[in-house]
Amino acid sequence: MHPVLKLVVQRIALGLLLLLAVSLVIFLGVEALPGDTAQALLGQEATPVALANMRERLGLNEPALTRYFGWLGGVLTGDLGKALTNDADIATSIRMRLGNTLFLAGSAAVIAVPLAIILGLIAARYVGRWPDKLISAVTLTTISLPEFVAAYFVIYLLTHAFPIFQPVAMVFPGMGFWAKLHAVALPVIVLVIVVLAHMMRMTRATILSVMQSAYIETAELKGLSPITVIWRHAFPNAIAPIVAVVMLNMAYLVVGVVVVEVVFSYNALGQYLVDHVTKRDLPVVQAVGLIFATVYIGLNMLADIIGILANPRLRHPK
């Protein structure tokens, strides 16, 4: 078997095993939450008989291992169960909100990824000079801001000081693309501010590391301009670590947007998760947690595979 194909298969197998382990951790972690699910659903005035009947109906009397394998079997067949609070199909509810989360994350990524790479290349080109110092100072400031602080700052700036947008990101089915994009402008700006610095600083550091190589000195001695040396010679050889940090931030855009979605009342997976955590709706919490874990592990696995494919020593073994 070709070394590249062997490594790719190994990464995929490890990713699937890790996802299985994470599913067990999610199930046991949710099960270990304090409180009684039946009591939370029926209220403090529920009688012991009613509580016993509710536990029987929810299957809470069965051993945890039995419930885990039953839940896992349902997940593998696409059946995530029903929400305890309203008996709605969880898979259908998640499908409706997942599209909103992906739209928000995708909109932020389209802006943040190329902007971070361009700023990183500029900072590396003018290292130690004012463009580098300015970009580094601004990104260091933004990387230090928690999401909710950046969100409230953007809300104040663009809804009160300059009333351009609405503070609530309201989207609904049938909404046009541009109208939807206008509605999510504020959370997109916040997400770009949050993730831009990580990718820019990694691009800058990786390019500067590659610039110390002998073949870069050769390219410079040929008389090539600094920007040509960076773009044609340094950047292609720095692509693997840059892709890795881009994928990590893409995973954050999908998984870590809970705070941003809650602040802007955005009807997506993060808001859906928070609403049902407060209601102790365990099947919903488990399902959303598993989806977040799948996205995170999948994007990290994709970053590993791209890094393998970008390595010429693996593509062309001796």
CATH code for the domain of 123: 1.10.3720.10
Q: How many domains does the chain fold into?
A: 1
Over residues 37-78, the pLDDT tens digits come to 676 666 667 777 777 777 777 677 777 788 888 888 888 888
Is residue 111 assigned to a domain? yes
Is residue 84 assigned to a domain? no
Spatial separation of the C-alpha atoms in residues 250 and 300, rounded to whole Å: 9
The whole-model pTM stands at 0.80
Is residue 170 assigned to a domain? yes
Q: What is the pLDDT of residue 35?
A: 66
Is residue 110 assigned to a domain? yes
Is residue 199 assigned to a domain? yes
Is residue 18 assigned to a domain? no
Range of the domain at 158: 100-279
Is residue 40 assigned to a domain? no
Over residues 198-253, the pLDDT tens digits come to 888 888 888 888 877 777 778 777 877 877 887 777 777 777 777 778 888 888 88
Is residue 156 assigned to a domain? yes
Q: What is the pLDDT of residue 311?
A: 63
